[in-house]
């Protein structure tokens, strides 16, 4: 905590430079470390010097697929210090430690009225940028936070909470939204496929509802980490036939609900096979468009429900903040690699090719620590 406090004090003493370093997306699988202008802010906006930004699977998919125009700067799991506040900003001032959401819905459109916030046109407009098009921008030294995000999507970090812990607010919110979509009951069994950082968070939140949680992963190392978070019932997918083993653990029925926390479309069919008739399957990691094979009779005849959940919910913002800032889960323990911005291209490569010992990868433009991993 002393390091974090000192960082905030030091930031107040620094003058804002004209240029900064950023990891700039230039095309499919083409990200370059470049010197770019520090973004200018207007009335109602703040400039945040980034301390920590987590690398999200959606960032990696956008880089690999070319789904977004270039140039742009990705990164949206951002925590840091307010370096400057524009006119009419009353809530925040220079030196405040904050975490920033990049999407906030309008609250008034058709989709907001139906609580499908991620489909709101305003929500789809990213409200943070490090330059070029607004697209998150956390893979840079500074981020411009636009007025509607300052008003409703910027959260002060308590003095006893680290930047690393705080950067999980947005991913935790997305996981809470997924769990809410499943409408779990305390007497149900939930099967979570994949125990990367998101899979573990989903599993902890599912268990928090009172449900019984069974986890699986191909990497025993990840199951060991998962167990350290109180998730003791697991299936080693490298050694067991997972559907058969899952049925053994559920009196032959299958899971009441299955969460697919791995972005592999080939696992959708096994996820449905592992779910009991009348159960639910949640696709959480399928954020890239494409095709997949399913058994339509499993939905019609077996009455299984195939559900989806994407991005965060503004209705869960306060709950996710309480969960993270209250340290209900020691999220920092999910971080396996920390990279300075100068090694951001290496960080993206490690994140895109996960290994048994890699979990959450973060880029830290404002950290005094230069080593990775630690």
- Mind listing the pLDDT tens digit for each residue in 170-199? 999 999 999 999 999 999 999 999 999 999
For residues 151 and 270, membership in a common domain is answered with no
Given pLDDT bands bounded at 50, 70 and 90, which one contains residue 13? very low
9 in a structural domain: yes
374: helix, strand or coil: coil
Checking if the pLDDT of 1 tops 60, the result is: no
Given pLDDT bands bounded at 50, 70 and 90, which one contains residue 289? confident
Phi, psi of 267 (to 5 degrees): -95, 0
The domain that holds 191 is classified in CATH as 3.40.50.720
pLDDT over 70 percentage in the chain? 94
Closest to 280 (Cα-Cα) out of 251, 239, 309: 309
307-362 pLDDT per residue, tens? 999 999 999 999 999 999 999 999 999 999 999 999 999 999 999 999 998 999 99
Residue 4's pLDDT is: 55
For residues 30 and 110, membership in a common domain is answered with yes
Domain that holds residue 227: 173-308
240-260: average pLDDT: 96
Given pLDDT bands bounded at 50, 70 and 90, which one contains residue 131? very high
For residues 145 and 207, membership in a common domain is answered with no
Residue 15's pLDDT is: 86
317 in a structural domain: no
For residues 109 and 145, membership in a common domain is answered with yes
What is the number of structural domains in the chain?
2
For residues 234 and 182, membership in a common domain is answered with yes
Residue 7's pLDDT is: 55
Given pLDDT bands bounded at 50, 70 and 90, which one contains residue 287? confident
For residues 278 and 348, membership in a common domain is answered with no
49 in a structural domain: yes
341 in a structural domain: yes
CB-based contacts of 296, cutoff 8 Å, min separation 6: none
Answer for the pair 347, 55: CB distance below 8 angstroms, yes or no. Answer: yes
122 in a structural domain: yes
DSSP result, 306-344? EEE--S--GGGHHHHHHHHHTTSS-GGGGEEEEE-GGGH
What's CA 192's distance to the chain center, in Å?
17
For residues 303 and 343, membership in a common domain is answered with no
For residues 157 and 241, membership in a common domain is answered with no
CB-based contacts of 74, cutoff 8 Å, min separation 6: 23, 25, 59, 62, 63, 135, 136, 137, 138, 139
Given pLDDT bands bounded at 50, 70 and 90, which one contains residue 10? low
Q: For 215, what's the count of Cα atoms within 13 Å in the CB-facing half-sphere?
A: 34
The vertex-281 CA angle with 299 and 204, nearest 5°, equals 165
Checking if the pLDDT of 53 tops 80, the result is: yes
Given pLDDT bands bounded at 50, 70 and 90, which one contains residue 373? very low
Work out the number of other CB atoms within 10 angstroms of the CB of residue 330: 10
Question: 211-232: buried (b, 16+ CB within 10 Å) or exposed (e) per residue?
Answer: bbbbbbbebeebbebbeebebe
For residues 49 and 113, membership in a common domain is answered with yes
Work out the number of other CB atoms within 10 angstroms of the CB of residue 44: 18
167 in a structural domain: no
For residues 284 and 348, membership in a common domain is answered with no
318 in a structural domain: no
For residues 250 and 201, membership in a common domain is answered with yes
For residues 239 and 339, membership in a common domain is answered with no
251 in a structural domain: yes
Give the DSSP H/E element, type plus range, for residue 20. Answer: strand 19-27
Conformation bin of residue 190: beta by default, left when phi > 0, alpha when psi is -120 to 50: beta
The domain that holds 352 is classified in CATH as 3.90.180.10
144: helix, strand or coil: strand
């Amino acid at each position: 905590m002393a390091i974090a406090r000192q960082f905030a004090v030091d930031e107040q003493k620094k003058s804002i430079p004209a240029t900064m370093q950023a990891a700039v997306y230039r095309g499919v699988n083409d990200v370059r470390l470049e010197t770019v202008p520090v973004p200018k802010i207007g009335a109602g906006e703040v400039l945040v010097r980034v301390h920590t930004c987590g690398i999200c699977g959606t960032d990696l998919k956008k880089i690999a697929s070319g789904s977004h125009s270039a140039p742009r700067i990705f990164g949206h799991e951002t925590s840091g210090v307010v370096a400057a506040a524009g006119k009419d900003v009353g809530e925040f001032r220079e030196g405040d430690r904050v975490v920033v959401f990049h999407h906030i819905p309008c609250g008034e459109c058709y989709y907001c009225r139906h609580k499908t916030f991620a489909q709101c046109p305003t929500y789809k407009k990213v409200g943070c940028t490090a330059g070029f098009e607004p697209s998150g921008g956390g893979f840079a030294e500074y981020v411009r936070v636009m007025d509607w995000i300052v008003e409703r999507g910027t959260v002060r970090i308590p003095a006893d909470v680290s930047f690393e812990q705080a950067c999980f607010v947005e991913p935790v919110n997305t996981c809470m939204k997924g769990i809410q979509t499943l409408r779990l009951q305390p007497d149900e069994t939930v099967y979570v496929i994949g125990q990367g950082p998101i899979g573990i968070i989903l599993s902890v939140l599912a268990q928090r509802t009172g449900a019984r949680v069974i986890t699986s992963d191909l990497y025993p190392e990840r199951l060991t980490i998962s167990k350290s978070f109180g998730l003791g019932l697991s299936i080693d997918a490298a050694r067991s036939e997972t559907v058969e083993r899952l049925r053994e653990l559920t009196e032959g029925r299958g899971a009441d609900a299955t969460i697919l926390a791995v972005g592999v479309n080939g696992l959708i069919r096994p996820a449905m096979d592992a779910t009991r008739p009348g159960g639910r399957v949640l696709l959480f990691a399928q954020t890239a468009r494409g095709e997949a094979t399913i058994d339509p009779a499993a939905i019609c005849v077996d009455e299984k429900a195939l559900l989806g959940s994407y991005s965060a919910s503004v209705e869960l913002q306060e709950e996710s903040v309480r969960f993270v800032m209250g340290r209900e889960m020691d999220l920092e323990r999910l971080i396996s690699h920390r990279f300075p911005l100068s090694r951001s291209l290496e960080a993206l490569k490690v994140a895109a090719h996960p290994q048994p010992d890699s979990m959450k990868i973060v880029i830290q433009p404002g950290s005094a620590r230069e080593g990775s991993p630690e």
